[in-house]
Amino acid sequence: GYLYNIAGWGEPYFVVNSSGNISVMINGVETTSEEAIDLLAAVKKATEGGLQFPIILRFPDVLKHRLDSLHTAFANAIKYTAYTSYYQGVFPVKVNQNRDVVDKLISLGKDYNFGLEAGSKPELLLAMNSLINGSPKAYLVCNGYKDMDYVSLALVSRNFDLNTIIVLELEDEVDTVVAASKKLNIRPVLGIRARLLTTNPGHFGSTSGKHGKFGLLEDQIYAVAETLKENNMLDCLKLLHFHIGSQIPTTSIIGSAVREATGYYCNLVQMGAPMGTLDVGGGLGIDYDGTRSGESDMSVAYGFEEYASTVVQAARLVCNQKAVAHPVLCSESGRALVSHQSILIYDALVAVEEPSDSLTSDELISRLDDLVGNPTTLHANLKSAVRSRDGSNNDASLVHADQLKKHGVEIFKLSRRLAKQLEAAGEKTFAYHMNLSVFSLTPDFWGIKQLFPIMPIHRLQEKPTQKGTLLDLTCDSDGKVDLFIGGAQTLPLHDVKQSGGGYYIGTFLAGAYQEALGNKHNLFGGPNLVQVESAGSAGGFTVAFVGAGPTAANQLQSMHYDPAEMAKVIADRAKETGHWTETEQTLVTKVFGTMPYLFGEL
């Protein structure tokens, strides 16, 4: 197992057992030998009736352990720092909207008053449906851009005894909320999303900082509070939220963000808003490469304990300085809760030897030498490029820039070929054809080169004899995995023929985002399709509507919900609370039956 660094990223849930298979330790290190699950045995059992690969195996016990560990970490941090309030978190459903995952989190988290975060209309329906069985105190945090229907449904859900909070992401949203609240005669509970100056440097940090996509800058926050005051609604403002992006690499960034946000929180208290909750968003990361370095998007340099104590201490410090009561701390941790609980398993169909490079290493080195060291090419190009730029000759400068680019690309390609050859170091490389679609099952690998730990789940006492890349079944050249944790372009693998049956490989830590991306991010779906045809010699053209984009109900079905059953659950709760008016019925039916995209202006 050391070849795959399973002790680094797998701890405390995945270990290699004495049979050379991976064991899933459902309660982390506290798992007894009876409780440990042999992954190969689980796969064999799952497939004995003829079930096809690929398979996602979910481990709800691991999910429970993650949820409990997060709450224990906050409880301890609160206890040991004399923090005078408590932690009450939510799960951002965009991270994995599957019904069994969401419902499990709500039932397991009932005693923690664990809630949900929604970012679109179908997600709001989903969260309402699940939280009807949750704790009545649990938060239902509504983020994302909102139209009138979204805001109205969020307001109406308060009538159904759900603790829904509408978070204002844009200055204009306050007008929609004020109008909807007056129209429906329902007082909202509101939050504001702050756009912090603290930035998250990783790939996911583009939502953070002054130029981030979401949230309000400090002055805008106070302006929105003023608008609420003018509308006699400042008493509705109870939460400050921020989210500086997923996978925050270090606790020092988390500390700065919480300190900055707590400063705004305290100022809102001093402006007369009741407040009460600080929602620190997502960002609690996963150590995919097992290095704990925090030096790339693949690693974070902390665990639950360090995260919780950083958040608690930062909030406490600023509140104490400003003599403001400690707020309830909420986080929207997604990735950290659900990554470990599911493993994607696929089988190798065949391993085909890759033809070796037609050029020897010496030939490649000599070509590189020519490109890098030849004064008539690189040097001359560089010089004339700079000269043409200084002489402000734009055309010449463009030609030179183009030549330089080609030169660079050629060097890059040759270096990559050489690196591959050196890495193979005399060993043959095999293309393992896997029962897999990279696009559908690990879209983040395809889209943003997110690397996941990948390894065989058995034969781990045998030394792997081959180096392999993984090819999927799609007819696309991108449908392959040829980059692994640590930067290697091949994975040490076993000879498939000797497996006496299947050779099974697992992609680990893939329970967050992977099942929900593709066409389903936030449950927004495909577009409507329209065909435009020329009318021929008569001139003009015709427009025909040929296909409807999926409705919220369609999208929810794809996540294994039954929209009719959901509508009934919501209607039953509404009737219990004496609120199933015609307006409410029409609204719920409309949101189920229309596309999740926003309609009209915000």
Binding-site ranges for ligand PLP (CB under 6 A): 92, 95, 117, 143, 243, 246-247, 281-284, 332-336, 512
Smallest distance, Å, CB 191 to ligand PLP? 11
How far, CA to CA in Å, does 322 sit from each of 263, 277, 317? 8, 16, 9
CA gap 223, 140 in Å, rounded: 25
Parallel, antiparallel or unpaired: strands 139-142 and 163-168? parallel
State how far Cα 115 lies from the chain centre.
Answer: 18
563 preceded by a cis bond (ω within 30 of 0): no
Task: Name, in order, each residue with C-beta under 8 angstroms of 39's C-beta and a sequence gap of 6 or more.
Answer: 21, 22, 23, 24, 57, 343, 345, 457, 458, 506
Instruction: Rank residues 70 and 505 by Cβ distance to ligand PLP and give the closer one.
Output: 70
Instruction: Rank residues 249 and 334 by Cβ distance to ligand PLP and give the closer one.
Output: 334
Instruction: Rank residues 66 and 158 by Cβ distance to ligand PLP and give the closer one.
Output: 66
Instruction: Please give the angle made by the CA atoms of 494, 500 and 504, to the nearest 5 degrees.
Output: 50
Query: In the complex, which residue's CB is closest to ligand PLP?
Result: 282
CB of 324 within 8 A of CB of 84? no
Instruction: Rank residues 117 and 173 by Cβ distance to ligand PLP and give the closer one.
Output: 117
Instruction: Rank residues 237 and 336 by Cβ distance to ligand PLP and give the closer one.
Output: 336
Smallest distance, Å, CB 92 to ligand PLP? 4
CB of 440 within 8 A of CB of 518? yes
Smallest distance, Å, CB 101 to ligand PLP? 13
Beta partners for residue 529, in sequence order: 547
**508: DSSP letter:** -
Smallest distance, Å, CB 42 to ligand PLP? 26
Smallest distance, Å, CB 473 to ligand PLP? 29
Smallest distance, Å, CB 508 to ligand PLP? 17
CA gap 469, 493 in Å, rounded: 9
142 carries an active-site annotation: no
Smallest distance, Å, CB 93 to ligand PLP? 10
Query: In sequence order, which ranges of 351-393 are alpha helices (DSSP H)?
Result: 361-373, 380-390
Query: In sequence order, which ranges of 208-279 are alpha helices (DSSP H)?
Result: 218-230, 251-270
CA-CA-CA-CA torsion sign (261, 266, 267, 271): positive
Q: In this structure, what are the phi and psi dihedrals at residue 383, rounded to the nearest 5 degrees?
A: -65, -50
CB of 151 within 8 A of CB of 180? yes
- Give residue 309's identity as a one-letter amino acid code: S
Q: One of 142, 236, 330, 475 is an active-site residue; which one?
A: 475
Beta strands in 438-565 (DSSP E): 454-456, 466-471, 480-481, 491-493, 504-507, 529-534, 541-547
Instruction: Rank residues 306 and 370 by Cβ distance to ligand PLP and give the closer one.
Output: 306
Instruction: Rank residues 282 and 468 by Cβ distance to ligand PLP and give the closer one.
Output: 282
CA gap 341, 104 in Å, rounded: 12
The catalytic residue positions are 475
